Amino acid sequence: MNSKNKPLHLLNGLTPAQFLAEYWQKKPLLIKNAIPNFTGLLSPNELAGLACEDEVQSRIVKYKNGKWIADHGPFNDDDFAKLTDKPTQENNWTLLVQSVNHHLPKGAALLQLFDFIPHARLDDLMVSYAPNGGGVGPHFDSYDVFLLQGQGKRLWRISEQTDLRLVEGAPLRILQNFDTTQEWLVEAGDLLYLPPHLAHWGIAVTDNGVDCMTYSIGFRAPKNQELATEFLGFMQDQLNQDQIVLDGIYQDADLRLQEHAAEIGKEMIAKVSANLQKIQWSDELVAEFLGSYLSEPKADVIFEANKKLSLRAFTEKFANAGIALDLKSQMLFFGDKFYLNGETVSFTGESKNILVTLADKRHLEATLISDALLQKQLYDWYIAGYLKF
């Protein structure tokens, strides 16, 4: 049995395997008090501060006189000052900040609670803030999401409707119709899991003067079309780098006289088709594609190279303090191959075990590494900004 498969308070006493079998990608689950005493990881002001930074993706979604407006950050103090003081059902707004786990260690630690779902499926932690009545309207997402309530309350409505028509011309996905099937008023520490394409509508409820903040632990599911396009790009690289070799050149000793010189002959098509079908891929190659593609940082992610530290000084520091993946780093593995931020390395034996721990836990305890190659690899990653003390 998988050693991780223990009943979790986070999942209302279900084991991860039970949750996956009964709910994941199938039906919603509300867990009251999933994280006892959770009231959030940052204040509304701190969230607004993040939304003012250049490298942070943020949006303010406004609902004004029946119309939806979406503004993109970075914002400044004036933008926040202009927002309505007394929001109503017809006039409200919400602030949404993406990838909070890249900027807040506590955000990254929160995501680790959900590590019964593979890291390859993880997207990010989004945090929203809204005064009473605010929200992003009735919609559905293409992804799985765990919605964890921070401070304040939120009224969640879900709908089993199959009518997923969207309001045309709106700057965000808003359902034309919404028929509430079920609703819950959630409070701090409550967790709502929603499978993809389930219509939902979260309305912020200010409780005793405390506004609503919601933490969305979102998972990604690439479109099959996107995976195929990216895979073919990867295969092209394999061919260009002679990792896949198709021997010989086109031959037609059996060429027969054609009626039309300009016509592409059936024989030519058959020969080329047979040749193309020699392009094969193994599971290892698909894993390699997935590893580099899914660990590739998003376009807006920038790593700050660490100031020069000698390999010796690095090794000493590591032996005393351990090391962690940078908050923006994404590390995956398959077999002996490790993928960190789109780059591939291979390690076996004890070094492999160490890297498996780094990938799973995102940090390593203080240790003296005996493998000089691994030492150098960790050092290079540190200099590149992929690791931090």
CB of 63 to ligand SIN, least distance (A): 12
Backbone angles phi and psi of 125, in degrees to 5: -105, 115
We find the least distance from the C-beta atom of residue 243 to ligand SIN, in angstroms, to be 41
Compare residues 145 and 323 and give the one whose CB is closer to ligand SIN. Answer: 145
Residues 147/148/152/157 CA torsion (nearest 10 deg): 30
Taking CA atoms, 179 is separated from 153, 172, 352, in Å, by: 22, 19, 52
Nearest distance from C-beta of residue 137 to ligand SIN, angstroms: 9
> Smallest distance from the beta carbon of 141 to Co ion, in angstroms?
4
Closer to ligand SIN by CB, 133 or 291: give it. 133
Cβ at position 218, least distance to ligand SIN in Å: 8
Beta carbon nearer to Co ion, 145 or 355: 145
Q: Are 132 and 204 contacting, i.e. CB atoms less than 8 angstroms apart? A: yes
Q: Which residue, 171 or 297, has its beta carbon nearer to ligand SIN?
A: 171
When asked if residue 292 is in the footprint of ligand SIN (CB under 6 A), the reply is no
* Residue closest to 96 by CA, chosen among 68, 66, 134, 132: 134
Q: 275: how many CB neighbours lie within 10 A of its CB?
A: 13
Instruction: Tell me which residues in 57-96 interact with ligand SIN (CB under 6 A).
Output: 94
Which residue lies nearest ligand SIN, judged by its C-beta? Answer: 128
- Would you count residue 135 as binding ligand SIN (CB under 6 A)? yes
Beta-sheet strands, E only, within the chain: 29-31, 58-64, 67-72, 91-97, 122-130, 145-149, 153-159, 182-186, 191-194, 199-205, 212-219, 323-325, 331-334, 337-340, 343-346, 363-364, 387-388
Q: Do the beta carbons of residue 268 and residue 260 sit within 8 Å?
A: no
- Binding ligand SIN (rule: CB under 6 A), the pick from 202, 337, 355, 369 is 202
Show contacts with ligand SIN in window 92-131 (CB under 6 A).
94, 128
Cis peptide preceding 74, ω within 30 of 0: yes
Q: Which two tokens stand for residue 62?
A: 């406004």
Residue 216 near which of Co ion, ligand SIN, none (CB within 5-8 Å, type-dependent): ligand SIN
Q: Nearest to residue 290, comparing CAs of 345, 233, 332?
A: 332
Please, which residue, 149 or 292, has the CB nearer to ligand SIN? 149
Separation of alpha carbons 105 and 49, rounded Å: 16
Choose the binding region for ligand SIN from 18-26, 40-48, 134-142, 246-254 (rule: CB under 6 A).
134-142
| Residues between 140 and 159 that touch ligand SIN (CB under 6 A) | 141, 145
Interface residues toward ligand SIN, by CB under 6 A: 94, 128, 135-136, 141, 145, 200, 202, 214, 216
